[in-house]
Amino acid sequence: MRKLLFILPIWLCLVIISPSYAHAIKIVVDAGHGGSDPGAIGINGLNEKDITLDIALKLQDQLVKRDYEVVLSRTDDRFISLQDRVDYTNKQSADLFISIHGNSYPSSQAKGTLVLYYDNQFPQSSYPASAQMESLTPISKAFAQQVLDAFINKLHTENQDIVPSSVYVVRNGTIPSVLIETAFLSNPEDAALLADPIVRSQMAEAIADGIQAFRPLPAKLAFTDINGHWAKDAILSLNEKGIVTGENHLYYPDRSLSRAELLTLLDRIHPFESLSEGYEKAVFSDLNEQHWAYPTFEKAIAAGYIRGYDDGSIKPDQAVSRGEAAALIDQFVEKTEPAPSTDGAAPQIDEGITDVPAAFTDVSADSWYAPAINHLRSLGILTGKTPDLFAPNKTITRAEIAALLDRWTDKNR
């Protein structure tokens, strides 16, 4: 990098992570600069692009020895644009991204090591971040701290802290991302360290130590963004049953749920009936065979679980309200409930439910979703935002649907 960024005081909330994994962890290692872009020029004549590539290659060796899967953005002296680096990373379905750099500053007194990450507490309107990086702030922050701690412990360079930053490669990706400024090429002492191949090997080893200390994918934490979340246990339970999945090891628990996603979850729990021969396809203006959930919609429409709107659409990607979710799920719950007894015997009573709770005050008795909400609540499957309020018109989140479906599948176990 060509200039020193402001150093801000940082505190870290510890991320508790298990040391065991169900599969290899994939790391993207990015050697900064390259080709026609030399990066900073050291006080001793070193090109930043050369030292970053050497450290990146050594880091690859270190990580492979530790059973990590590693890909590099470049393996030789070539120019790669910042957007191409991000695009390459996004295609890898990787778990972590780390960019290797050397620093520079007009004053030769500046020295030491810092690690940059994107922090949504310090947004810059001129440099917007991707939605994924916004939500990944606590994970990237913890990742940055682990890498910095390991580096300082091994190299004893001056600790310049972890730094919120809007540099391109840490604000535009989709996975936890950091950029390490290993040392200052503009400082005589730091430049001497970077010129020493043995020290560069130690730097690579230190970065690998930090990655190994962080390790975001333990066997019992399939998603890196649910640690400490109130719905974590429900999400993991449904994931183990093959009901919920994520993207790049992220679940996005607080994101709204679409109609397509909800139907897919219900189809996984109680598979929809196959289409009969001669089935006449329903036509909607916003649903075609290219939509990822088209087959699921076909079966759900044929079974009468879902209908379209008066304008000829079915809005497959529209966020589902809590009231709509309850109404749809209740259809499936009723199908799986035992039929009423016809032999004169008293009906079975669920011993887990000792009292039918009062109706939610914000669910009107004549609303179209009221019977479903009251039924699911009486079964102990559905809860409100508070004991008295259900918020039927608010969109349901992926965490809320996981909690609801987990309670339902537990009752049917």
User: Mind telling me the catalytic residues?
Assistant: 181
Q: Is residue 96 within 8 Å of residue 27, measured between CB atoms? A: yes
Sequence-separated (6 or more) residues with CB below 8 Å from residue 288? 294
Q: Is residue 96 within 8 Å of residue 28, measured between CB atoms? A: yes
Bridge partners of 284, per DSSP, are 287
Q: Is residue 214 within 8 Å of residue 149, measured between CB atoms? A: no
**Three-state secondary structure call for residue 263:** helix
b/e per residue 256-279 (b: at least 16 CB within 10 A): bbbbbbbbbbbbbbeebeeeeeee
Sequence-separated (6 or more) residues with CB below 8 Å from residue 271? none
Beta-carbon neighbour count of residue 302 at 10 Å?
Answer: 17
Sequence-separated (6 or more) residues with CB below 8 Å from residue 268? 242, 243
Give the Cα-Cα-Cα angle 72, 73, 77 (nearest 5 degrees).
Answer: 100
Rg (CA), the chain: 27
Backbone angles phi, psi at 284, to 5 degrees: -130, 145
What is the Cα–Cα distance from 267 to 300, expressed in whole angstroms?
Answer: 9
